[in-house]
Amino acid sequence: MSIHRFFLPGDCITQSTVVISGRLVHRLRNVLRLGAGDHIVILDNSGWEYEVELRAVGGGLEGVIIHKAVAAGEPRTKITLYQALIKGSNFELILQKCTEIGVTGFVPMVCERCVAGEPDSNRLGRWQRIILEAAQQSRRGKLPVLRNVLRFREACESATGVSLLPWEGEKVRGIGGVLRSLPKTENATEVSIFVGPEGGFSAWEQEFARSCGVWPVSLGNRILRAETAGLVAAVVTLYELGELNGSS
């Protein structure tokens, strides 16, 4: 059985121990039935991970650090997914799956054809928890960042690195070919991927994106649902940049 992993604030970690408190104590003891002598992994969101042995202290628990290592789950390539707001729980599916595969940031985006409204604070809290749980489960070393909601214009203006806009109308430039053709120097520590809502991007949005250096790319001859397209684009990017080959 794999060892349980938990993100904690960095100030819980000292030279040799980890302070465990509150809800995590309850979860370890009463939900996972773990106690003194069991091992868990603590992550401090800096890219380090700490294997600790649990020890009873007073009424609570602390972790004694027995091994510290760089978490292997962080890709070198930083992918930010600019995802148009979409209906229902599909945005959550995107956050969960894209965290698992290695996306490093999410920007919820308001586009002309969005029908979904902007998230309230409850929904944003739920999205943060989905990212946290997916990052713990998939052995990420850092939590992907959920950035503030942006309008499409601001999103294009804020994009960094190689910036790609999957667009079903693009018939020439496939995403893989574009990534393979990058000069080695540009190869590519930062990639921004823009995915539209259920109704796609408007003509103005495509034109504006180009004027900001956000280039349209094809994901193939089939029309993917909005919740599929970002995952496919991120997987192809990670594959083309050599991030899906294990640690060898």
- Binding stretches for ligand SAM (CB under 6 A): 166-168, 195-196, 198-201, 218-220, 222-226, 229
Distance CA 226, CA 85 (A): 9
Nearer to ligand SAM, 8 or 94 (CB): 94
Rounded least distance, CB 72 to ligand SAM, Å: 31
Nearer to ligand SAM, 144 or 166 (CB): 166
Nearer to ligand SAM, 7 or 167 (CB): 167
Output the CA–CA distances (angstroms, integers) from residue 36 to 5, 28, 78, 202, in the order listed.
16, 10, 38, 58
Q: Report how far Cα 132 is from the mean position of its chain's Cα atoms.
A: 9
Rounded least distance, CB 150 to ligand SAM, Å: 16
Rounded least distance, CB 214 to ligand SAM, Å: 11
For 69, list phi and psi in degrees, rounded to 5.
Answer: -150, 160
Rounded least distance, CB 225 to ligand SAM, Å: 5
Query: What is the DSSP secondary structure assignment for residue 2, as one 8-state letter?
Result: P
Region at 220 (left for phi over 0; alpha for psi -120 to 50; beta for the rest): left
CA atoms within 13 A of residue 90's CA, in its CB half-sphere: 16
Nearer to ligand SAM, 52 or 178 (CB): 178
End-to-end CA gap in the chain: 24
Rounded least distance, CB 171 to ligand SAM, Å: 10
Nearer to ligand SAM, 63 or 108 (CB): 108
